[in-house]
Chains A and B, each alone.
Chain A
Amino acid sequence: MPPNARWNRVVGALSSLKLTLVCLALLMALTVICTLAQVPLGTHVAVDRTIRTFLVWWQPEASSLKIPVFPGGGLVGFVLFVNLALAQFLRLDWSRRKAGLWIMHLGLALLFLGEFATAFFQVESHMPVEIGQTRDFTEDYRRLELAVVDATDAARDTVTSIPDSIVKAGGEIAHASLPFKLRVKRYYDNAELHMRRPTDPPSEATGGVGANLLVHPEPPVSGDDQQNAAAALVSAVAADGRNLGTLWLSNALGAPQGFLLDGRDYKLSLRPRRYYLPFSLTLKEFHHDRYAGTDIPKNFSSLVRLKDPMRGEDRDVLIYMNNPLRYAGKAFYQASFGKNDTLSVFQVVRNPGWLIPYLSCALVALGMMLHFGLKLGSAMGGSK
């Protein structure tokens, strides 16, 4: 077979509408699987394992073997996108009658691109802020970091952040800005922390609150309203090999723990990863309106002061339901509240592709109306 013919066959297959149908069917199946998987797994994990992946893997219980069982959303989406693009250019003629189809498929292609952009670039985090507090960072509850804070200078903290993936890998962690090494002895994705009773075995921690705790590993949870309490047993070792302290760190523990070294005060904590912002928000007021005579929430709104010295911004912003603050590529949404209505929690999303769906929706709607409008016109004309 000449290479050209083979090439043509591949292109023909890739652009065929049969492939479109297969992809649509697979996508429907995936959607159903993803929906059902959310019941035991929670939304995030279910989506990560079925949609935001190229293959759906199945791991038999008590086995490290992973078997791909189904194409994932990424693969199906990619094939569908290629299929759409090829079919469009190879099979559809440029005519006025087909203009609607062109416009709607262009919009569809954009929608695919938007979803891929979301999958790769979207970062979600949270910003809890109490009335009167000023915050210039957001927190990612699903990713952790081991933070080493040099708190010697009361006015300014020096923070060294180590991502949880490195802590999890274990072993020895050295960082240029730290005069000591960290040795990770244990790491649990999820653990239960109890006060140690006299009959319990001695704690492995030598200092901090961890010395009074019994840490028991638990299977990780992934439900939408559940959170893992990760725990790490970490020793700090000075350059001369002296053990400065072995601590149990956990995001379930509030206060940081630490030690003194050469007159400097170091505090260690395992906490949600922080993303620092070049601007700050101060919560001035928080309102939680209810319907008269009930506890049914009617509206949540936060009045914040936005300060950005770099851009010379200093103004009040009202964030409420269905009305986020979009600033510097990030959107701040009213997500939650607490502490007797003195704490407001914003969900912070950075998604560079957020405008794409708006555009694509308009295009597809326009295309369909054009196309089906023409068809309806001829059907109505035909019936007379």
Chain B
Amino acid sequence: MRRSSGIFAAAFVSGLLFASWPFFSRGPKSEFDVRGFSRLPLLEGGRIKPIDSFARNSLLVIRGQQSLPVDAHRLSASEWILDAMLRPEAADTYKAFVIDDPDVLGLLGMERSTERRFAYWQIESKREEIRGQAERANGLDSGRRSRFQTSIINLDHRLELYERIKNTVMVSGSDDPVGEFETFVKLAPGALKALHSPAKAAAADREAMKNLAKFIDRYRFLAQASAFKPLPPRSGENADEWTSVGESILSPAGGLDPHPGLPAFVHMAKAYKNADAAGFNDALHGFEAWLSREKPKAFSSAGSEETFNRAQPFISGMTLYVMALLGFFAWWGARRAWVRSISMGLLCAAVLVHTLGLGARVVLQGRPPVTNLYSSAVFVGWVAALLGLFSERIHKKGFAAAGGALLGFCTLLVAHHLTHSGDTMEMMRAVLDSNFWLATHVITVTIGYASTFLAGALGIAWIARLHLVKKHDAETDKALASLAYGVISFSLLFSFIGTVLGGIWADQSWGRFWGWDPKENGALLIVLWNASILHARWIGYVRERGIMVMAVFGNIVTAMSWFGVNMLGVGLHSYGFMDQAFWWLIVFSAGHLAFMLLALLPPRFWTREPA
């Protein structure tokens, strides 16, 4: 006993050490303080976040990954955005744009080959053509667009994002941002004088006004094009009024009393261009000092979010879940107690890492854990893994724990793929902006999803045993069945309460309790299906095997109501993530149907002796 808990503890601790690895790695080797830069706060999409988050999400949108290989090494998202903003001539040569659609390639005059990644300079000459095609396609309803039209809109959107990033700190390709800015500041007071009283103005001031006009055009463009607003309001200004570099320069105080962030950014820009690491770091640290003095809250929350991004708890959690799952397989094969201890240790570590990640998101966002599809996937996996751990205490056969590990892994994988749509901590539409309902309805419904999935996983385990295991003991089968029954009851409770709470929320915000809209119907289907299983069991229509088959079907029902209803509006012609997800959903359902068929085969196909 003591030995097994020692092994458990060792596995648990090594799991945690594995997950904390990102904190020990030193990050990209660079003289420039890239990490400090990536922790600077900015306002974009209605919330304050670090440059790092914006860079990761942008690169995800543009390239589908959070990093970019250039020559022999890999650029982090922050390094990439630094290049894009401050050395666009270099960034334009990075192969960041993935183009799959053959018709879009045709439009660009490129042949289909193995190369599907392109650099901006390769596309630039066709930029106007792409914009025109995208505008034309935008006139159509999203359901009626062809694959080409959807892809061209998508490409145009990605190109525009990239172009905005390039024109955020300085007009892209500007040779001397510092010189420009300093001339502007020097000219501004005189020009203003000339503007207010043209009659009395000195000749020099009038000249200044004329010269200034050139700059104003450039900065106006900068104000319109920029991708984000990195300059926080100074004391006395409206707390929501963050500004972009261009906006700040053009503001009434821009030339006379420039925002302290302005010289910092232009000096960083110049130093970065000239490979002057010391100058870059000086300007950065000066701005950091100002931020920590004037905007300590925004500065520290952006920093915490960058730390969270770097830790990537859900990635390491995913790995730990897989290791735990393999451990359970090994245990069933080898039947050695120490293997089980290792697996349990790894699973507990995975759940702890998952919990910390979830908790960090809650703290960073100031919201209940589920706010969008991405976070619902993260949460479903967490609940399923916890439930698995808890159920494992009742019947120590490893099935509940393995099911929890499997679901933890799968849902985190789904969540990982959902990040491609952009910021996962996006702001919520007005009607959803209610922490009370997010914390009650959304959480209970999601717990219902998780437990239905766990029941389905137990069903799959039972069916696998039916065909794989030679020596059957009735006790294990019975334990599985009673576990599944318990979990189904649990999910009926939560999915029902969650569904009705949803109705009550709808009554509060739209004035009707139940409107039979697709998402409501999806939730109702889960309730009805779980109720059917329990009633069928009660009248003896189904026994062990029947319950398991029905539980497996429950997975299909849940997947349909979780993801399927979101795809209803998606026509056959659409292209992109949801379309891909649609095929995965079909594969998922087909796989589950196959399992159900396996269970329904007559006893002579089983390895188990029929009872």
Name A's B-contacting residues (CB within 8 A). Answer: 17-18, 20-21, 24-25, 27-28, 31-32, 34-36, 38-39, 43, 46-47, 51, 111, 114-115, 118, 122, 124, 290-294, 296-300, 321-324, 331, 333, 335, 347-349, 351, 354, 357-358, 360-361, 364-365, 368-369, 372, 375-376, 379-380, 383
- Say whether A369 contacts B486, CB under 8 Å: no
Cβ contact of B507, chosen from A24, A298, A354, cutoff 8 A: A354
- Say whether A298 contacts B430, CB under 8 Å: yes
In the assembled complex, how far is the CB of residue B365 from the closest CB belonging to chain A, in whole angstroms? 13
- Say whether B565 contacts A294, CB under 8 Å: no
- Say whether B46 contacts A293, CB under 8 Å: yes
CB-nearest residue of chain A relative to B564?
A35
Taken together as a complex, chains A and B put the C-alpha atoms of A46 and B516 apart, in Å, by 9
In the assembled complex, how far is the CB of residue B188 from the closest CB belonging to chain A, in whole angstroms? 25
Number of A-B contacts (CB under 8 A): 158
Cβ contact of B510, chosen from A115, A122, A333, cutoff 8 A: A333
A–B Cβ pairs within 8 angstroms, 15 of them: A17-B539, A21-B536, A35-B516, A38-B568, A290-B46, A294-B45, A298-B430, A321-B430, A331-B511, A357-B500, A361-B497, A361-B501, A368-B497, A376-B486, A383-B394
Report the stretch among B152-160, B264-272, B487-495 that lies at the interface.
Answer: B487-495
CB-nearest residue of chain A relative to B395?
A383
CB-nearest residue of chain B relative to A47?
B516
Q: Which residues of B contact A34 (CB under 8 A)?
A: 516, 521
Q: Which residues of A contact B43 (CB under 8 A)?
A: 292-293
- Say whether B512 contacts A296, CB under 8 Å: no
- Say whether A291 contacts B496, CB under 8 Å: no
- Say whether A25 contacts B532, CB under 8 Å: yes
Cβ contact of A333, chosen from B394, B505, B509, cutoff 8 A: B509
CB-nearest residue of chain B relative to A34?
B516
Cβ contact of A28, chosen from B229, B240, B394, B525, cutoff 8 A: B525
Cβ contact of B528, chosen from A28, A47, A291, A368, cutoff 8 A: A28
- Say whether A379 contacts B394, CB under 8 Å: yes
CB-nearest residue of chain B relative to A349?
B511
How many residues of chain B have a CB within 8 Å of chain A? 59
Taken together as a complex, chains A and B put the C-alpha atoms of A298 and B242 apart, in Å, by 17
- Cβ of B503 within 8 Å of any chain A Cβ, yes or no, is yes
- Say whether A35 contacts B514, CB under 8 Å: no
In the assembled complex, how far is the CB of residue A251 from the closest CB belonging to chain B, in whole angstroms? 23
User: Which positions 555-609 of chain B face chain A at CB distance < 8 Å?
Assistant: 565, 568-569
Q: Beyond A293-B242, A354-B507, is A322–B493 a contact (Cβ under 8 Å)?
A: no
Taken together as a complex, chains A and B put the C-alpha atoms of A324 and B513 apart, in Å, by 13
Taken together as a complex, chains A and B put the C-alpha atoms of A45 and B427 apart, in Å, by 33
In the assembled complex, how far is the CB of residue B541 from the closest CB belonging to chain A, in whole angstroms? 7
- Say whether B489 contacts A31, CB under 8 Å: no
Q: Beyond A28-B528, A347-B511, A358-B504, is A321–B431 a contact (Cβ under 8 Å)?
A: yes
- Say whether A357 contacts B569, CB under 8 Å: no
Q: Beyond A292-B242, A361-B501, A361-B504, is A31–B511 a contact (Cβ under 8 Å)?
A: no
Cβ contact of A375, chosen from B437, B486, B509, B569, cutoff 8 A: B486
Taken together as a complex, chains A and B put the C-alpha atoms of A24 and B482 apart, in Å, by 23
User: Which positions 328-351 of chain B face chain A at CB distance < 8 Å?
Assistant: none
- Cβ of B538 within 8 Å of any chain A Cβ, yes or no, is yes
In the assembled complex, how far is the CB of residue A118 from the closest CB belonging to chain B, in whole angstroms? 7
CB-nearest residue of chain B relative to A48?
B516
A-B residue pairs, 4 tightest by C-beta: A291-B46, A349-B511, A292-B240, A361-B500
Cβ contact of B511, chosen from A111, A124, A360, A364, cutoff 8 A: A124
Q: Beyond A24-B532, A35-B565, is A118–B496 a contact (Cβ under 8 Å)?
A: no
Taken together as a complex, chains A and B put the C-alpha atoms of A369 and B492 apart, in Å, by 11
CB-nearest residue of chain B relative to A347?
B511
- Cβ of B111 within 8 Å of any chain A Cβ, yes or no, is no
Taken together as a complex, chains A and B put the C-alpha atoms of A118 and B504 apart, in Å, by 14
User: Which positions 19-75 of chain B face chain A at CB distance < 8 Å?
Assistant: 43-47
- Say whether A357 contacts B504, CB under 8 Å: yes
- Say whether A39 contacts B569, CB under 8 Å: yes
Q: Which residues of B contact A379 (CB under 8 A)?
A: 394, 482, 486
In the assembled complex, how far is the CB of residue B529 from the closest CB belonging to chain A, in whole angstroms? 7
- Cβ of B196 within 8 Å of any chain A Cβ, yes or no, is no
Q: Beyond A21-B535, A292-B43, A379-B394, is A322–B565 a contact (Cβ under 8 Å)?
A: no
In the assembled complex, how far is the CB of residue B221 from the closest CB belonging to chain A, in whole angstroms? 18
- Say whether A35 contacts B429, CB under 8 Å: no
CB-nearest residue of chain A relative to B493?
A368
In the assembled complex, how far is the CB of residue B532 from the closest CB belonging to chain A, in whole angstroms? 5
- Say whether B508 contacts A296, CB under 8 Å: no
- Say whether B492 contacts A368, CB under 8 Å: yes
CB-nearest residue of chain A relative to B518?
A35
CB-nearest residue of chain A relative to B239?
A292
CB-nearest residue of chain A relative to B233?
A292
Q: Which residues of A contact B229 (CB under 8 A)?
A: 293
Taken together as a complex, chains A and B put the C-alpha atoms of A18 and B538 apart, in Å, by 10
- Say whether B513 contacts A118, CB under 8 Å: yes
- Cβ of B515 within 8 Å of any chain A Cβ, yes or no, is yes
Q: Beyond A293-B240, A333-B509, is A27–B489 a contact (Cβ under 8 Å)?
A: no
- Cβ of B517 within 8 Å of any chain A Cβ, yes or no, is yes
CB-nearest residue of chain A relative to B536?
A21
Taken together as a complex, chains A and B put the C-alpha atoms of A291 and B565 apart, in Å, by 28
Cβ contact of B433, chosen from A17, A25, A298, A380, cutoff 8 A: A298
Q: Beyond A28-B525, A28-B528, is A324–B394 a contact (Cβ under 8 Å)?
A: no
